[in-house]
Amino acid sequence: MTTSGTADEPMALAAERLRTAGMRVTAPRMAVLMAVSDSGGHLDADTLRERAQRITGRLSLQATYNVLRALTDAGLVRSTQIAGHPTRYETERHDNHHHFVCRACGSIRDVECAVGAAPCMEPRLPEEYDTQEAAVTFWGLCPGCRAAAPVS
Amino acid sequence: MTTSGTADEPMALAAERLRTAGMRVTAPRMAVLMAVSDSGGHLDADTLRERAQRITGRLSLQATYNVLRALTDAGLVRSTQIAGHPTRYETERHDNHHHFVCRACGSIRDVECAVGAAPCMEPRLPEEYDTQEAAVTFWGLCPGCRAAAPVS
DNA sequence: TCCATAATCTTGACCGATTCAAGAAAAGGC
DNA sequence: GCCTTTTCTTGAATCGGTCAAGATTATGGA
């Protein structure tokens, strides 16, 4: 099981993606990229390291941070910082979606940008400001925690 | 200069605000509240401590955190966490405004909620989600940094 | 006015997330 | 297959913030 077969395909794909991005293809990078890809997103560095380790064996946390930085810079991965949580990573889909964060359990859910081309992208600011991006974070209770909450 | 005169008025006001909020009136609390109030907002705990110290003399960083937590819980102060920055504090104005952050210099500017009653408050989420708040952060370049930037 | 009590403040240790630094390993071009 | 440069490993350090324990102090009642 080295060059073909079902198990190796995701890895070959990861390698291809790295190569296309002009990056060196290394085991840690493939492993982390795979971990981010098949996770459904929103995992922190330590969790990703753990998952990547299952794929590639030993992997330092520092390397995980290095790889995530490199992947983010290359546009393959998107990082999101949520107040009170460590940085989360997900596959970059270039759709500028937002996030809903449950105040009770901390779970994160993607939220499509409400009105197509982002109404939030046009702040009431003087002309001289160069607004490049709008990050919206919705806070509240997810269905599960809402049901379990004392008052509603 | 103990009970009247111009210099003591802000302090008397701070004491009054604390009392109204049902909080004990202490020197650290008055000092921090004053520091937050006349700063124009968006200062971090350490800077606020420094400024509060000028008013009240000795003040530990831990006390500053305690006070800020208490003031925030009491609704007198609003805290904002911006990715890559320590928590910032400003006077709570109950207007749910947002923030513009300059990627170059880190400065923060208030942004009124674009379309009145917050268009961002209505995410495309299933009914079962209880969305309580939407925090919008605009990223870009402030006028000064934009002018200094290599490409525009 | 003074006291008792509970809240608050000070000091100092501690923690999680992340970065810095230096040497070892390995990817990729010739 | 070697050489150079990038990347990875290990270990220390930093930053923002919290925990814990004992000293102070604000406030309500005697």
**Which residue has the closest alpha carbon to D15 C1'?**
B86
Average pLDDT for residues B62-76, to the nearest whole number?
98
Chain B environment of A146 (Cβ under 8 Å): 128-130
- The percentage of chain B sitting over the pLDDT mark of 70, rounded to a whole number, equals 85
Q: Is the pLDDT of residue A123 over 80?
A: no
Q: What count of Cα atoms within 13 Å lies in the side-chain half-sphere of residue A36?
A: 25
Q: Are strands A98-102 and A130-141 parallel, antiparallel or unpaired?
A: parallel
Q: Which of A120-124, B105-109, B111-115, B137-141 has the lowest mean pLDDT?
A: A120-124
Q: What is the arrangement of strands in the sheet containing B77-80, beginning at the earlier edge strand?
A: B43-44, B88-91, B77-80
Average pLDDT for residues B61-87, to the nearest whole number?
97
Q: Which of A127-136, A141-150, B4-13 has the lowest mean pLDDT?
A: B4-13
Closest CA to B105 of B42, B39, B61: B42
**CB of B96 nearer than 7 A to strand D:** no
Helix axes A45-56, A27-37, angle to 10 degrees: 120
Rounded Cα–Cα distance for residues A141 and A138 (Å): 10
> Tens digit of pLDDT for each residue in B83-102?
999 999 999 998 888 899 99
B112-115 CB contacts, 8 Å cutoff, 24+ apart: B112/A124, B114/A119, B114/A120, B114/A122, B114/A123, B114/A124, B115/A119
| pLDDT at res. B56 | 95
Q: Chain-centre distance of CA B129, in angstroms?
A: 28
Q: Is the pLDDT of residue A4 over 50?
A: no
- Residue B3 binned pLDDT confidence (cut-offs 50, 70, 90): very low
- Phi (first) and psi of residue A75, to 5 degrees: 80, 15
| pLDDT at res. B125 | 80
Closest residue on chain B to A136 (Cα): B136
| pLDDT at res. B114 | 54
| pLDDT at res. A125 | 80
- Residue A120 binned pLDDT confidence (cut-offs 50, 70, 90): low
Average pLDDT for residues B16-32, to the nearest whole number?
97
How many Å apart are B118 CA and C23 C1'? 54
| pLDDT at res. A40 | 84
Q: Is the pLDDT higher at A110 or at B122?
A: A110
Q: Is the pLDDT higher at A24 or at B106?
A: A24
Q: What is the arrangement of strands in the sheet containing A98-102, beginning at the earlier edge strand?
A: A108-111, A98-102, A130-141, B130-141, B98-102, B108-111
| pLDDT at res. B152 | 52
Rounded Cα–Cα distance for residues B81 and A89 (Å): 18
Cβ separation B100–A131 shorter than 8 A: yes
Cβ separation B129–A122 shorter than 8 A: no
Cβ separation A100–B111 shorter than 8 A: no
| pLDDT at res. A112 | 82
| pLDDT at res. B6 | 53
Cβ separation A129–B142 shorter than 8 A: yes
- Residue B122 binned pLDDT confidence (cut-offs 50, 70, 90): low
Closest CA to A103 of A136, A62, A137, A128: A137
Provide the token pair at A75: 């546009």
| Torsion, Cα of A141, A142, A147, A149 (10° steps) | -30
Q: Which residues touch strand C (CB under 7 A)?
A: A 19, 24-27, 44-46, 61-62, 65, 69, 81, 86-87; B 23-24, 26-29, 58-63, 66-67, 70
Q: Where does residue B21 fall: left (phi above 0), alpha (psi -120 to 50 degrees), or beta otherwise? A: alpha
Inter-residue contact A62 to A31 (CB < 8 Å): no
Q: Is the pLDDT higher at B117 or at B48?
A: B48
Q: Is the pLDDT of residue A24 over 60?
A: yes
Q: Is the pLDDT of residue A116 over 50?
A: no
> Tens digit of pLDDT for each residue in A40-70?
889 999 999 999 999 999 999 999 999 999 9
Inter-residue contact A45 to A51 (CB < 8 Å): no
Rounded Cα–Cα distance for residues A29 and A66 (Å): 9
- The percentage of chain A sitting over the pLDDT mark of 90, rounded to a whole number, equals 66
Q: Is the pLDDT of residue B116 over 60?
A: no
